[in-house]
A and B are shown apart, each in its own frame.
Chain A
Amino acid sequence: MLKLGNRLDVYEPGQLKHKFGILLIIVAVVLTILALRLWYLQVLKGDDFRQRSENNSLRLRKIKPLRGLIMDRNRKLLTENRPSFNILFIPDKARDIKKSIAKIKWFYSLNSLELAGNVSIPDKLKPFVPVTLERNATMEKVAVVEIHSFELPGVVTEITPVRQYLYGEANAQIIGFTGEVSRREIEQDITGHLSPGDNIGKFGIEKSLDAHLRGKSGTEQVEINATGKIVRSLGRIPPKSGNNVVLNIDLELQKAAWEAVGNRRGAVVALNPKNGDVLTLISSPSFDPNIFTGELSAGEWEKLSSDPQHPMENRAIAGQYPPGSTYKPIVAAAALETETITPDKSIYCNGAFKFGDRIFHDWKKEGHGETSLHRAIVESCDVYFYNLGKMLNVDVIAEYARGFGLGAPTGIDLPREKSGLVPTRQWKKDRLKSPWYAGETISLAIGQGFNLVTPLQLASAYAALANGGTLYRPRIVKQIESPDGRILQSFPPEIKGLLPVSAPNITTINKGLWGVVNERGGTGYLLKNAQQDVCGKTGTAQVIGLPQNAKEKKMTAETNDHALFVCFAPCENPEIVIAVILENAGHGGATAAPVAKKMLDVYFSNKLPERSPSQGAPASNKVQKQ
């Protein structure tokens, strides 16, 4: 065994002198090797490497992913990705940035000075980040740039997938659009995946589901030459396409509604009353989302954003209108439930209703005569409902209106929904600092006054009547799927509440709605010949508080009444609810009802059994991977 147990202490300070010398030599040799290598790389080969770092360098290039597709309920594509050419400028590839900018400005002398303006302030710390000179360049321009690449060092072309919206204006407010990410959006992005030049959703579904649609960029290592051109690819990590989104929207119905509305202002909403699926959502006038994929000029943007018609506003969810006579069934429900009236009780209508020193007129001057609740709904008798208004308290009406989902956002999966307005005593006191007058309840009872609803709220309220009393949350998005068709997330029906109305009373009201369309004298009689039994209610909403007798005197485009129509069909077991509002279009029965009629025709003639998810082949992205 070792005999090392005892400490020998043979150490004498200074005995290491010899070893110290050897160590000094080793240290000197080792560090000299490094110094010589440094000399070789930096001094002897320095220019070569500088050249390599500046010119023929390797670079990691980002490959943009394909954005997920958006489809309608029958998997018809609403968006596509098509290849687009961009012209870029890489400042650090330009030997003399000022000269290059001058050249580019000359090159773009005609109309793109704004773009060249971008180039004049390259970020000093990031001269390698490409500046986009032009998006969506024409093939001719790309060809010219390619041919002149020697005169334009640093100017390169690239192909990127670009979003295309197949039914532009009709779906614009739902689908929205994408645009280049802003500096602020990059800073606020928690995923940290965004970088300048990326496209992200800016509006509509494109925005709300951006995280799903976006996909993940890939990288490619490329060798680029002195002009910034890619010489060869040395390897790549492929990008990951975004997920696809399937909407509940029915494209055919959507197109039919869009065509039927034509160039009028208004909104159309169609729901499936059984589950809250949004089948149609139209807002007119609209805009073409495809203009955002190109380089939108300041002028174009100005024109769009300052248009007095507000084409970017989604009237279906954010347009707030007085409901007019479409409100009557809700008032009827309040009256029935509170036992203020019974269905059998009649009220005599002579065409006018006197309250205090004020006279409220019926839309039918000669009056409706002895009117039951049923006839009052069918013929939309104002005097009958004035009487209900006199009997009911404003807060009771408000309570029932809220029960129908009015006065609060429906919770649809689109941003910027408005809540409408259900007036109460307290509201008026808080907001207008004045007490409630009984006369206001009377005009409230026919849907005039302070009442405001969105077309979506109206459709949703009638959907609840149609299905026997269940209020569903309207849902635009059906499901999110992976690029290979796996369902990642689906959005099942969501019950928001039940109408505060008993089943017999709902039946009573619905019978009235049937009469509106199917009985002689009904205000929606125009629709009677549809293929199915239709229940509905017309409405005509005063735009401003003109004295009623002054109305006939002067009607301009701005003061004409809004036309409303809400319907559901088939009356037995309804499948579809449609709400139509046309601004300043006059009587609901005459102008709004035909829009619904065209949609019903399309719906019941085109109706095919819905494809199950497994049958539907995943739609393929059209752009070839680069």
Chain B
Amino acid sequence: MKLDRGLLLNFDWTLFILVMVITLIGLLNIYSACLSISIPGQTPYYIKQIQWIIIGFAGMTIAFFIDYRFLARHAYIIHGIAILLLFVVLIAGNSARGSQRWIALASFSFQPSEFVKLTIILALSKYFDAHQLSRGYRLKELLIPFLITIVPFLLILKQPDLGTALILLIIFLAIILFVGMDYKSTLMAAAGGLVMIPIGWHFLKGYQKERIFTFFSPENDPLGAGYHIIQSMIAVGSGGFLGKGFLKGTQTQLRFLPEQQTDFVFSVFAEEWGFIGGIVLLLLFLSLIIWGLNIMLHSKDYSGALLSFGITMLILWEVFINIGMVLGILPVVGIPLPFLSYGGSSLLVLMTASGILMSISVRRFLLQK
């Protein structure tokens, strides 16, 4: 088939290599982060992460070979399934640390909320591709995108998983701003948003409010939520310019930080590799994001442009919020660091999303407008 040959000839090696390099850095980092907590008789985290990388690679390959327009066409069904899984989680999911996020599948457990991050991009892309306007959208024209977002948003908030819910909201806002809103509607939405803040605050759980308070004065609660911020900043800061070296992060090996293999994984990296390592990692992310936006720019159709925009924004904001949290400039919310945090669902979703990006990238050479 002609298409197949084209897929390989025009393969986006830059994107592929960037993703794999960041993923492998993440793997080394998890190895270090979990060195001091390996439990005899239990599969070490880094081994599990390798298994997830292989699964993620499969997801990426499949996503690459499937035409993204096929995915876009079935976006509502896919998104619907993801929402259905969120219901399943609420009813029958496995609890961990007081929240229900996981569904156990054989020996793996996965988190439907991670998948929703991707399906929401698909669904919103389909909507705005199907309803293109040369002017800005009005509020009532955004009702369906709003519903696409709010349903999973509320389900995830109920889990409760503030971080993931926040990401959905950010993706929604980014895409709305991207497609453009009517001037009047923008003002109204902004006003409405301001009104919603105190109401939303009311619905936050005690510990969630506490985290936000804590963010402003971490020293007041050194054993609770502030502990993470302080320890994280000490770990990062003590890394200095050159870092303490691989496997030599004392804060890391001391297990000052709980969850250091997931949400706080960047502190491990920054402690051991220092400012130099941190900047290299940020540059890798920068390259990845710019490359993603480049794919958006050169996409042959609106659907591909929207999809690549959404995926790129997902990576950008997760990187910013996660690292910002670790560096003490944003409140602590549970958002994984793309490709680096331990956790199969996040990795699988992001690698699949990269596969979609590659699929868009390669098809700009194949599709004739």
Interface residues of A (CB under 8 A from B): 2, 4, 7-11, 13-14, 16-17, 19-20, 23-24, 27-28, 30-31, 33-35, 37-39, 41-43, 45-50, 52-54, 57-60, 92, 125-128, 187, 190, 192, 221, 234-235
Contact B301–A11 (Cβ < 8 Å): yes
| Contact A10/B132 with A27-B289, A41-B237, A47-B240 known, Cβ cut-off 8 Å | yes
Cβ contact within 8 Å between A38 and B297: no
In the complex, A20→B299 CA distance in Å? 12
In the complex, the answer to whether B241 meets A8 with C-beta atoms within 8 Å is no
Known contacts A45-B237, A125-B253, then 9 further A-B pairs from the complex at CB < 8 Å, ordered by chain A residue: A20-B297, A27-B289, A34-B324, A38-B279, A42-B240, A46-B240, A49-B236, A53-B238, A60-B255
Name which of B51-59, B74-82, B222-230 contacts chain A. Answer: B222-230
Q: Mark interface residues in B136-156 (1 if CB within 8 Å of A CB, else 0).
A: 000011000000000000000
B213 at interface by CB-CB < 8 Å: no
**Interfacial chain B residues near A54, Cβ < 8 Å:** 238, 250
Most buried by A among B239, B285, B301: B239
The 6 closest A-B pairs by CB, nearest first: A49-B237, A235-B223, A11-B302, A53-B238, A4-B131, A46-B240
A34 near B320 with CB under 8 A, answer yes
**Distance in Å from the Cβ of B233 to the closest Cβ of chain A?**
6
In the complex, which of the residues A8, A27, A33 contacts B316, with contact meaning CB atoms closer than 8 Å?
A27
User: Which A residues are CB-close (under 8 A) to B270?
Assistant: 38, 42
Which of B132, B134, B286 is in CB contact (< 8 Å) with A27?
B286
Instruction: Please determine whether B238 and A11 come into contact, CB atoms closer than 8 angstroms.
Output: no
CB distance from B190 to the nearest CB of A (A): 18
Q: State whether the Cβ of B112 lies closer than 8 Å to any Cβ in chain A.
A: no
With a cutoff of 8 Å between Cβ atoms, the chain B residues found around residue A27 in the complex are 286, 289-290, 293, 316
B369 CB within 8 Å of chain A: yes
Contacts of A39 in B (CB 8 A): 275
B309 CB → nearest A CB, Å: 8
B327 A34 Cβ-Cβ under 8 A? yes
Kindly state whether residue B23 has any CB partner on chain A within 8 Å. no
Find residues 202-255 in chain B having any chain A CB closer than 8 Å to their own CB.
222-224, 227, 230-231, 233-241, 247, 250-251, 253-255
Interface residues on B, range: 35 or more
Query: Which of A14, A23, A192 has the most CB atoms of chain B within a 10 A radius of its CB?
Result: A23
Q: Can you spell out 25 A-B residue pairs with CB atoms less than 8 angstroms apart?
A: A4-B130, A7-B130, A10-B132, A11-B301, A13-B369, A14-B297, A16-B305, A20-B294, A23-B309, A27-B290, A31-B319, A34-B324, A35-B279, A35-B282, A41-B327, A42-B239, A46-B241, A49-B236, A52-B234, A52-B237, A53-B234, A92-B250, A128-B254, A187-B40, A190-B41
A23-B293, A35-B282 known; A49-B238 Cβ under 8 A: yes
Of all chain B residues, the one with the shortest Cβ separation from A38 is B278
B37 to chain A, nearest CB (A): 10
CB within 8 Å: A-B pair count: 158
The docked-state distance in angstroms from the alpha carbon of A49 to that of B230 is 10
Contacts of A192 in B (CB 8 A): 39
Interface of B is mostly: helix
Inter-chain contact B40/A57, CB cutoff 8 Å? no
Contact partners of A45 in chain B: CB under 8 A = 237
The residue from A7, A9, A19, A128 contacting B178, defined by CB atoms under 8 A apart: A19
Tell me the minimal C-beta distance from A18 to chain B in angstroms: 10
- Chain B residue numbers with a CB within 8 Å of A11 are 132, 301-302, 305
Smallest Cβ-Cβ distance to B143: which chain A residue: A2
Chain B positions 172-222 with a Cβ under 8 Å from a chain A Cβ: 178, 222
Residue pair A16, B282 in contact (C-beta under 8 Å): no
Check if A2 sits within 8 Å of B141, measured CB to CB. Answer: yes
Interface centre among B234, B274, B323 (most CB of A within 10 A): B234
* B298: Cβ under 8 A from any A Cβ: yes
Question: Is B104 positioned at the interface, with any CB of A under 8 Å from its CB?
Answer: no
The listed residue (B140, B278, B285) touching A42 by CB distance below 8 A is B278
Q: Are A38 and B327 in contact (CB under 8 A)?
A: yes
Residue of A whose beta carbon sits closest to that of B279: A35
- Find out whether the CB atom of B293 lies under 8 angstroms from the CB atom of A125: no
Taking the complex as formed, is B256 at the interface, i.e. its CB lies under 8 A from any CB of chain A? yes
Contact status of A41 and B236, CB under 8 A, knowing A2-B141, A33-B324, A34-B327: yes
Asked if B69 is at the interface (CB within 8 A of a chain A CB), the reply is no
Instruction: Tell me the complex Cα distance, A50–B36, Å.
Output: 20
Indicate which residue in B41, B238, B305, B319 contacts A52 across the interface (CB closer than 8 Å).
Answer: B238
User: B316, A30: Cβ atoms under 8 Å?
Assistant: yes
Interfacial chain B residues near A46, Cβ < 8 Å: 237-241, 275
Question: Which of chain A's residues has its CB closest to B240's CB?
Answer: A46
Contact between A53 and B290 (Cβ–Cβ < 8 Å)?
no
A contact residues around B36 at 8 Å (CB) = 125-126
Does A31 contact B286, Cβ atoms closer than 8 Å? yes
- The 8 Å CB contact of B132, one of A2, A9, A42, A52, is A9
Contact in complex: A16, B227 (CB < 8 Å): no
A8 and B239 form a contact (CB under 8 A): no
Chain A residue contacts of B134, Cβ below 8 A: 8, 10
Check B7 for interface membership: any CB of A closer than 8 A: no
B93 to chain A, nearest CB (A): 25
Residue of B nearest to A92 (CB): B250
Q: A7's contact among B132, B140, B256, B323, by CB below 8 Å, is which?
A: B132
Inter-chain contacts of A60 with B (CB < 8 A): 255-256
A16 near B237 (CB under 8 angstroms)?
no
Contact A16 B275 (CB under 8 A): no
Nearest-neighbour CB distance to chain B for A128, whole angstroms, equals 5
Contact of B251 among A2, A8, A53, A190 (CB under 8 A): A53
B3 within 8 Å of A by Cβ? no
A12, chain B: closest CB distance, angstroms: 9
Chain B positions 308-343 with a Cβ under 8 Å from a chain A Cβ: 309, 316, 319-320, 323-324, 327-329
Q: Are the CB atoms of B231 and A58 closer together than 8 Å?
A: yes
The contact string, 1 if C-beta is below 8 Å from chain A, for chain B 33-49, is: 00110011100000000
Q: Which residues of A contact B282 (CB under 8 A)?
A: 31, 34-35, 38
CA separation between A35 and B329, bound complex, in Å? 12
Q: How far is the CA of A38 from the CA of B273 in the complex (A)?
A: 12
Whether the Cβ atoms of A49 and B141 lie closer than 8 Å is no
Check A4 against B237 for contact (C-beta < 8 Å).
no
Is B296 in contact with chain A by the CB < 8 A criterion?
yes
A66 CB, nearest partner CB in chain B, Å: 23
Residues of A close to B323: CB separation below 8 A: 34
Inter-chain contact A13/B234, CB cutoff 8 Å: no
Q: Is the CB of A30 within 8 A of B320?
A: yes
Cβ–Cβ < 8 Å partners of B73 in chain A: none
Alpha-carbon distance between A55 and B240 when the two chains are bound, in angstroms? 16
Flag if B140 contacts A2 (CB, 8 Å).
yes
